[in-house]
Amino acid sequence: MPSWVLATIFAAFMQNLRFLLQRHLKVTTLSTMGATWARFAYAMPMVAVALTLYLGLSGQPLPRATPAFWAYVVTGGLAQMLATACVVALFARRNFAVGITLKKTEVMLTALIGLVVLGEGVSPPVAAAIAVGFAGVLLLSDPPKGETALPWSARIFNAASGYGLASGLLFGVSAVCYRGATLSLEGGDELLRAATALLAATLVQTASLGLWLGWREPGQIARVAAAWRVAAPMGLASMLGSLGWFTAFALQTAAYVKALGQVELVFTFLFSVFWLRERSSAKEIGGVALIVLSVLLILLASL
């Protein structure tokens, strides 16, 4: 099995665990931006330690950063930060499983952005598989049963769908930028370039959002520190998941990685059913079934 496939599946599992812990922080302790910052603040020193250890073990020098690298890192880091805030805000409107699924519009948008920015397209079979996944997302764009009396336009263009689409667009931008960043580094193997780009991105995110919180929500920084029992494991899951994503981006186009990354939905529904004890409607299950079919088709097309 290709290395990028293994890295993507690992990243999807760790990202799901991170979102679960982040959801807990959002609904119990922190504001939307506080829970968002906690992810970066706790992950950043772990990434620095991991990069230092790998540099020592591999004997490689640190890759040389180019101006294009920093442009990609800053753009991708800010886009990911805003996308994460959209997902955290979405948790207050839909259940955990549907909230994660709505953000999967990022798969279609990543393919489009990757084509425009990096000139990387997808094969016809993968494009068809992405279309199947998009059909599943459309099924999940409807509000819960109690809101079905709303007009059709309100049922499609609602706050939950808006957060999902916004996060999908922003995650698509960040994915393409992170692949661009790993390709822009000079020297080093794929894992070293991935870790270097990840550290640069988390530094940008921790500093920029930390300054914003200090100005707009100063009490949140102390609350993030006090929530270390949940935030520290979340930071570890974030670091491991992000390292998986960055490694996959260094090996394969962003569209393929994000398309296969929909396997996260399998982990999401397992967590939703067995941990959170949440129920899903028949329409939601049908939408997820289409997305799982999309993942299988993409996996077959890439092997």
Cβ–Cβ under 8 Å, residues 262 and 294: yes
> Which residue's entry shows tokens 């920029």?
208
- pLDDT tens digit string along 106-130? 887 888 888 888 888 888 888 888 8
For the chain, which residues make up each domain, given as ranges? Answer: 3-302
What pTM value is reported for the model? 0.85
195 versus 271: the higher-pLDDT residue is 195
- pLDDT tens digit string along 162-175? 777 788 889 999 99
Provide the percentage of residues in the chain whose pLDDT is more than 70.
85
What is the C-alpha to C-alpha distance for residues 153 and 145, in angstroms, rounded to an integer? Answer: 16
pLDDT at 56: 94
Q: pLDDT band at residue 281, thresholds of 50, 70 and 90?
A: confident
What 8-state DSSP symbol labels residue 64? B
pLDDT at 247: 95
- pLDDT tens digit string along 72-115? 999 999 998 888 888 777 766 655 556 666 666 788 788 888 88
- pLDDT tens digit string along 131-190? 887 787 767 655 555 544 445 455 455 666 677 778 888 999 999 999 999 999 999 999
Q: State the average pLDDT for the chain.
A: 84
What is the C-alpha to C-alpha distance for residues 288 and 294, in angstroms, rounded to an integer? Answer: 10
- Please give the angle made by the CA atoms of 54, 247 and 260, to the nearest 5 degrees: 150
